C-alpha cells in the first residue's frame, strides 16, 4: 500500500473545501433562512448575512486556489520564488479584503467582528511568511 504524502493530502483537502465553498454559495439563501428561523433572529439578518457572505466567496476561492497552486508547486519540486511570493501576496490581500467586508458587516451582526479579526490575523501570518520566503531566497 502506497503512502500518500501530506502535500498531496493538502491538495485533496483544498479541492474538497472548494467544492464545499461552491455548495455553500448555492445553498446560502436556504441555510441563512433556516438559521434565522431556528435561532429566532430578526428576518433582516438573513439579508445581512447573504450580503456579507456572497462578496467574500470569490476571495475565499482565490485563497483556496492559490494555496492549491502553491502546494502543487511544492509537490512538483518547483520553487519559483517570484511566482510563490506572488501567490502568497494574492492570498494575503484576499484575506484583508474578506476582513474589511466582515468588519463592516460586524456593525449589523457582532459575530462578523470575530471573522474579521480571524482573517486579519491570517493575512498577517501569510504576509509574514511571504516576507520570510522573499528574504530567504533573495540573492544577497
The reported pLDDT for the residue numbered 68 is 96
* Domains and their CATH numbers in the chain: 6-136 (1.20.1440)
- Per-residue pLDDT reduced to its tens digit, 91-115: 999 999 999 999 999 998 899 999 9
The reported pLDDT for the residue numbered 2 is 61
Please compute the mean of the pLDDT values over residues 75-97 and round it to a whole number.
Answer: 90
The reported pLDDT for the residue numbered 3 is 63
Nearest C-alpha neighbor of 103 from the set 87, 88, 120, 89: 120
109 or 21: which leads in pLDDT: 21
Dihedral sign from CA coordinates of 78, 82, 87, 89:
positive
- On the 0-12 / 13-18 / 19+ scale of CB atoms within 10 A, 79 is exposed
Does residue 140 surpass a pLDDT of 60?
Answer: no
Amino acid at each position: 500500500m502506497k503512502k500518500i504524502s501530506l502535500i498531496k493530502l493538502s491538495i485533496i483537502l483544498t479541492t474538497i473545501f472548494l467544492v464545499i465553498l461552491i455548495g455553500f454559495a448555492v445553498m446560502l439563501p436556504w441555510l441563512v433562512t433556516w438559521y434565522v428561523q431556528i435561532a429566532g433572529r430578526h428576518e433582516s439578518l438573513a439579508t445581512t448575512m447573504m450580503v456579507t457572505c456572497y462578496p467574500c466567496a470569490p476571495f475565499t476561492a482565490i485563497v483556496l486556489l492559490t494555496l492549491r497552486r502553491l502546494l502543487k508547486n511544492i509537490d512538483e519540486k518547483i520553487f519559483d520564488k517570484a511566482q510563490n511570493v506572488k501567490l502568497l501576496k494574492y492570498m494575503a490581500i484576499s484575506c484583508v479584503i474578506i476582513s474589511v467586508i466582515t468588519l463592516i458587516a460586524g456593525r449589523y451582526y457582532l459575530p462578523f467582528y470575530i471573522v474579521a479579526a480571524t482573517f486579519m490575523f491570517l493575512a498577517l501570518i501569510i504576509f509574514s511568511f511571504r516576507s520570510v520566503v522573499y528574504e530567504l531566497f533573495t540573492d544577497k
